[in-house]
Amino acid sequence: MKILQFLTSKAFFKQLLYIAIFLGVILFAVLMWLKFYTNHGQKLALPDYIGEQMNDALKDAEDKTFQILVHDSIHIVGKPGGQILDQNPKPGSEVKEGRKIYVRTTKYNSDQYPLSKLPQLYGNDFDQKKRELKFQEINAVIKDYKYDTAEPNHILEVYYKGEKIVSGTVFKKSVMVEKGGTLEMILSSRGGGKTDLPDLKCYSYPEAVFYLEQLKLKVGNVNKIGTVTNLDSAYIVSQNPAFDPIKTIERGTPVDISVQQSKPSQCN
């Protein structure tokens, strides 16, 4: 009878409530532990960060509990700095949370070479040196030609960013040339350059021809005044372009001359 009264009393139901609450807390704790235990060590597919900027990849990796570490960086002409080139583990690999991802990125600043580390340029064939410079990712272009007695297309002067850095008397070995930079070169040419315009008046025709050849000029039209029976013994009366002591003329330019058989009176 007393047991029946106890089972129907408020004290009994209060105890049942306490027991239910206790068991509920225990059950909740067990379920949470099981969930944590199940997820702990779970493998995730690694995102593909190749081609992304480093700052963007760091933010995404942090949200996914990964760590990104740079193990190498190189300069690539035409690519912006901080771009991810490769990653390890590879994209799509299954890894645990907190995994470190090692990446290789592009440099923000370009590599540089001291001039002393480049191929010897002065006096050498342009095409050959252009190929050698290409291996170091440095461009070579023709800036101009200058008359020289050396073989054609040989390097006489080198300019970098508007500054002469190499010539027959100049070698600025401390100049740093950027990877991807451009060297401008002046090359030798037997048909280029300028020379003084000679005064041919009173010279014999053979002397005038020899003089012009020495200056790398050409004999143009020959105008005969009067009867000229023997050109080898004729004399120069005038020329075109006319002589000017301060005037220069492009090598290879023809000079027209007028000749007569006898020596002009003003030449005696």
Residue-level pLDDT, tens digit, the chain, 268 residues: 556 555 566 665 566 666 777 777 777 766 765 555 445 556 778 888 888 888 888 888 888 788 888 887 887 777 888 888 898 888 888 877 778 888 888 887 778 889 999 999 999 999 999 999 999 999 999 998 887 777 889 999 999 999 999 999 999 998 999 988 999 999 988 766 678 889 999 999 999 999 998 888 889 999 999 999 999 999 999 999 999 888 888 888 899 999 999 998 888 7
**What would the two tokens of residue 82 be?**
């901080």
Domains 112-189 and 195-267 share a fold: yes
Fold of 112-189: Trypsin Inhibitor V; Chain A (3.30.10)
User: CATH class for domain 195-267?
Assistant: alpha beta
pLDDT at 130: 95
End-to-end CA distance of the chain: 167
70 in Cβ contact with 101 (< 8 Å):
no
Tokens of 9: 């009393």
The domain spans of the chain are 2-39, 45-106, 112-189, 195-267
The CATH architecture annotation of domain 45-106 reads 2-Layer Sandwich (3.30)
The per-residue pLDDT for 121 is 95
Q: DSSP string of 115-159?
A: GGGSPP-TTSBHHHHHHHHHHTT-EEEEEEEEE-SS-TTBEEEEE
Distance CA 205, CA 99 (A): 92
What is the enclosing helix (H) or strand (E) of 61?
Answer: helix 54-63
